[in-house]
Structure 1
Amino acid sequence: MAIIFVAARLLQVDYPWLGFVAAFAEAAMVGGLADWFAVTALFRHPLGLPIPHTAIIPRNKDRIGVNIAEFLEHNFITHEVLQDELRDVDFAGVSARWLADDANSRAVAERLVGTIPAIVNMIDDRDAAEFFRGALGSSLKDVRLAPILGQVLTVLVAGRQHVRLLQRVLGLVGHALEENRGYIRQKVHDHSPSWMPRMVDEKFFERLMNGIQSILDDMADEQGEWRARFHTAIEELIDDLQHSPEYEEKLRTLLANGLHHPLFREYVANVWTDIRARLQTAGTSPDSRLLARAQDALQVFAAALQENPAIRTKLNDWLRGFAITAIVERRSLIVAVVQRVIDKWDAETISQKLEQQVGSDLQFIRINGTLVGGVVGLVLYVASLALHS
């Protein structure tokens, strides 16, 4: 515009119509310089001169950070905005379709199962065994053991399982006696007086074995007195278990002693060791049943979501509500991140970032200012000619 202005002024004497061109160019120079000054003043001091009210963005960097943060907080991260934006998002449907793919469900299952060894390795064996023992004791703390045992015996009696158990025990006792006849005979001889004839020992041994066998036979006889006594004893035991506080106290004492017994502690430790080994193997083996079951469970879950719109809708509502609540309640933390990042930028950095985001539009502002200024100057020149004519 400066070159056009100079050329038009020099040639205007010979070509009067160039006065219009000169007027346009002159005003265009003013408009272009004014817009250059205005745009430059936003980001830095024009020509490096500390002119008041220039370098607006660098001087107000902190205030800009606060304003941007507040703008985001009150205009974007609100319950109403998020509700409107997430209303049509089908979280459950998208997840179900994604999990339905074998590769995706396999990847998720591998991630889930793969974390097991790391978690297991973080647990101390003694702490785990103590936890299981304490958990068992806590779970049984409020349980009435005697009535439960009474109910178990009632079921056994109703199914005549107690008779089978008695017959099994009697059979084991009879077999044990027969297998150990020599040992019992020797014990009888050892405890007999030295002057006792051996024949008497033998007769005593035979009478003893026959007497014991007779008792076992009587107990095995379903119509015998021993069987009636056994039934009566079982019924009395069931009644005592269900109604007697004394039996409850005895069972609870036995349980407490058992939980603190070294054998039980060793058993629990062995159980945990076995569980740990199995979990580590399942977490590292690509062919583990746990991995296959986890993948199957994920695919069953995905299929159920796809086939049940009601469940999908409820799950979407829950996820949507959870996401909105979580974001809105923490929006101050979110915008604080924005503000902290802007605060860390120096004046030059924020100027460059904003100027780069606007990009070529800044150049068009200057060009438009030049053209608009030129048009205004041309209009004013024409109006001045009309007033002088």
Structure 2
Amino acid sequence: MAVVFVVARLLQARHPWLGFVAAFAEAAMVGGLADWFAVTALFRHPLGLPIPHTAIIPRNKDRIGANIAEFLEHNFITHEVLQNELRDVDFAGVSARWLAEDANSRAVAERLVGTIPAVVNMIDDRDAAEFFRGALGSSLKDVRLAPMLGQVLNVLVAGRQHVRLLQRVLGLVAKALEENRGYIRQKVHDHSPSWIPKMVDEKFYERLMNGIQSILDDMADENGEWRARFHRSIEDLIHELETSPEYEEKLRALLARGLHHPLFREYVGTVWSDVRARLLTAGTSPDSRLLARAQAALQVFAAALQQNPAIRAKLNDWMRGFAIEAVVERRSLIVSVVQRVIDKWDAETISQKLELQVGSDLQFIRINGTLVGGVVGLLLYCVSLALASGQ
């Protein structure tokens, strides 16, 4: 515009119409310079001169950061905005469809199962055994053992399971006697005085075996005296277990001794070692059944979720509410990150970042200022000519 202005002024005497061009160029030059000054004053001192009210952004960097943070907090990170943005997001459906794919469910199962060895290795074997023993003792602390045992026996009696158990025991005893006749005969002979004839020992042995067999037969007879005694004994035991505090104390003492017995401690340690070995194998083997079951469970869950809109809707509501509350409750932390980052920038950095973001628009501001200034200057030149011709 400066070049056009100079050329138009030099040639205006020979070409009067160039007065319009010169007026346009003169005003455009002024408009362009004014807009250049205004835009430049936002980011730095024009020509490096410390003119008042210039370099606005560098001088107000901290205040701008605080205002941006406050603007984000109160206009973007709010219940209303997040609710509207997340209303149509199907979190549960997307998750279900993603888990339904074999590769994805396999990856999740591997990640879940893969954490088992790390967790197991963090646990000391002695601590684990002591924990299980303590957990068992704590779980039984408030349980009345005698009445519970009485109820178990009641159930067995109602289903005649006690009779089956007795018959099973009698059968095992009879079988043991039959299979060990030679051993029993030898023991009878070994404990008999040497002066007693073998025939007498044999008679004694036969009478002993016949007597034991007779007792077993009587006990096996459902209508016999032994069976009646057995029933009465069971009923008396059930009554005592349900009513007698003495039985409860005895069972408590027995349980306490058992839990603190070295054999029980050793057994718990053995069980934990076996469980630990299985968990480590399952967590490291790519073909473990635990991994396959975990993947199958994830796919079943995904399929069920896809087929149940009501559950999906509830899960979506829960996830949406959780996400909104989590973000809104921490919005002050979120915006403080924005403010801290801006505070760490130096004045030149923030000016460059903002100028790069709006650089093309700033160029158009200068161009538009030049054109608008030129049009205004041309109009004013026309008005001045009209006023001069009117005089």
Q: What is the deviation of 1:359?
A: 2.5
Q: Does 1:119 align with 2:119?
A: yes
Q: Does 1:311 align with 2:305?
A: no
Q: What is the deviation of 1:17?
A: 1.5
Q: What is the deviation of 1:198?
A: 7.4
| 2:90 aligned partner | 90
The equivalences for 1:166-245 within 5 A come to 166-177=166-177, 207-245=207-245
Q: Does 1:339 align with 2:335?
A: no
One-letter amino acid of the counterpart of residue 143, structure 2 = V
One-letter amino acid of the counterpart of residue 336, structure 2 = A
SS state of the match for residue 131, structure 1? helix
| 2:62 aligned partner | 62
SS state of the match for residue 52, structure 1? coil
Q: What is the deviation of 1:338?
A: 0.9
CA–CA distance in structure 1, aligned partners of residues 209 and 302 of structure 2: 70
| 1:330 aligned partner | 330
**Deviation string for 1:275-328 (max 9, x for gaps)?**
222222222222222222222222222222222211111111111111111111
Q: Does 1:72 align with 2:72?
A: yes
The gaps in structure 1 that reach 5 residues or longer are none
Q: Does 1:129 align with 2:129?
A: yes
Q: What is the deviation of 1:206?
A: 5.4
CA–CA distance in structure 2, aligned partners of residues 175 and 137 of structure 1: 39
CA–CA distance in structure 1, aligned partners of residues 159 and 381 of structure 2: 119
CA–CA distance in structure 2, aligned partners of residues 129 and 348 of structure 1: 64
| 1:108 aligned partner | 108
| 2:27 aligned partner | 27
Q: What is the deviation of 1:201?
A: 6.3
CA–CA distance in structure 2, aligned partners of residues 250 and 23 of structure 1: 117
One-letter amino acid of the counterpart of residue 248, structure 2 = E
Structure 1-normalised TM-score? 0.92
Which deviates the most, 265-274 or 62-71? Answer: 265-274
Q: Does 1:247 align with 2:260?
A: no
| 1:158 aligned partner | 158
Q: What is the deviation of 1:173?
A: 3.2
SS state of the match for residue 69, structure 1? helix
One-letter amino acid of the counterpart of residue 231, structure 1 = H
Which deviates the most, 216-225 or 197-206? Answer: 197-206
CA–CA distance in structure 2, aligned partners of residues 128 and 387 of structure 1: 105
One-letter amino acid of the counterpart of residue 160, structure 1 = R
One-letter amino acid of the counterpart of residue 121, structure 2 = N
CA–CA distance in structure 1, aligned partners of residues 23 and 13 of structure 2: 14
Q: What is the deviation of 1:90?
A: 1.3
One-letter amino acid of the counterpart of residue 362, structure 1 = L
SS state of the match for residue 142, structure 1? coil
| 2:268 aligned partner | 268
| 1:288 aligned partner | 288
**Deviation string for 1:52-102 (max 9, x for gaps)?**
211111111111111111110000000011111111111112222222222
One-letter amino acid of the counterpart of residue 135, structure 1 = A
CA–CA distance in structure 1, aligned partners of residues 126 and 347 of structure 2: 59
Q: What is the deviation of 1:109?
A: 1.9
One-letter amino acid of the counterpart of residue 251, structure 2 = L
Q: What is the deviation of 1:136?
A: 1.9
| 2:278 aligned partner | 278
The gaps in structure 2 that reach 5 residues or longer are none
| 2:302 aligned partner | 302
Q: What fraction of aligned residue pairs are identical, expressed as a percent?
A: 89
Q: What is the deviation of 1:219?
A: 2.3
Which deviates the most, 202-211 or 166-175? Answer: 202-211
**Deviation string for 1:123-179 (max 9, x for gaps)?**
222222222222222222222222222222122222222122222223333444455
CA–CA distance in structure 2, aligned partners of residues 255 and 60 of structure 1: 77
Q: What is the deviation of 1:117?
A: 1.9
One-letter amino acid of the counterpart of residue 48, structure 1 = G
One-letter amino acid of the counterpart of residue 49, structure 2 = L
| 1:358 aligned partner | 358
Which deviates the most, 128-137 or 5-14? Answer: 128-137
CA–CA distance in structure 2, aligned partners of residues 345 and 111 of structure 1: 40
| 1:143 aligned partner | 143
| 1:388 aligned partner | 388
SS state of the match for residue 360, structure 1? helix
**RMSD of Structure 2 on Structure 1 (CA):** 2.3
CA–CA distance in structure 1, aligned partners of residues 216 and 169 of structure 2: 10
Q: What is the deviation of 1:329?
A: 0.7
CA–CA distance in structure 2, aligned partners of residues 276 and 148 of structure 1: 32
CA–CA distance in structure 2, aligned partners of residues 198 and 307 of structure 1: 84
